[in-house]
Copies of this chain bind each other. A is one copy, B any other.
């Protein structure tokens, strides 16, 4: 029997590496999808390629899109990335690192890729930690995207295939994600979470993403393989 195909959004971070491993563990043939979207650093894309290679995923599309044309985020423009010493210092509300409509854009490309390769499953690594700050990481949003997607495509209009958006990390905290991925053999040394890394893949250790990652490994009781600057 031929494996079912799934599109997995792979950013190079810890979360999406875990999601790729989950999709493989569930028996899907994984089609990884990454974006070159004017990130401040390209190290993220290098990490995505390393994750794909380390999991022996054979299909990897990297789509070039330009979000800088709109501005509006510290990840794609010249706003400073906020740095802190402790997780408790991370501010409330929507972070300045929020990229407008990013998950909607990424899922839209995944939808196109799914239609072309004949996949009816898309995996995305949104999770409970992001839930509080990013509007497009909430369960209601994921279900609304799925409903729209089932009206958007050839498969939808012809009624022979129902598309499902999987967000298997939704209810996990960072420690839970790390435990799940470790059980599946994910090599987190290949991943990069930092918003402001140094080449080749050293994390700053103090941006919101680094703080949450460090706390996750500590809480999971699993050694953190990340290379941090100044350590």
A contact set with B: CB distance below 8 Å: 61-67, 69-72, 94, 98-105, 107-109, 111-113, 115-116, 135-136, 138, 140-141, 144-145, 147-149, 151-154, 156-158
Beyond the given A104-B111, A141-B151, could you list 15 further A-B residue pairs with CB under 8 A, ordered by the A residue number?
Answer: A61-B69, A62-B69, A70-B112, A94-B157, A98-B154, A100-B111, A100-B113, A100-B115, A101-B152, A105-B108, A135-B151, A135-B157, A136-B152, A136-B153, A144-B144
| A135→B148 contact, CB < 8 A | no
The interface centre, meaning the residue of A113, A135, A148, A154 with most chain B CB atoms within 10 A of its CB, is A148
* 20 pairs from A and B in contact (CB 8 Å cutoff): A63-B66, A64-B65, A64-B66, A65-B66, A72-B112, A72-B116, A100-B154, A101-B109, A101-B153, A102-B112, A104-B108, A104-B111, A104-B148, A107-B108, A135-B156, A144-B148, A144-B152, A145-B148, A145-B152, A148-B148
- Cβ–Cβ < 8 Å partners of A136 in chain B: 151-153
Q: How far is the CB of A77 from chain B (nearest CB, A)?
A: 10
Q: Which of B99, B113, B151 contacts A140 (CB 8 A)?
A: B151
Smallest distance from the beta carbon of A118 to chain B beta carbons, Å? 10
Q: Which residue of B lies closest to A111 (CB)?
A: B101
Known interface pairs A64-B66, A156-B135; A108-B101 also in contact (CB < 8 Å): yes
Residues of B within 8 A of A156 (CB): 135
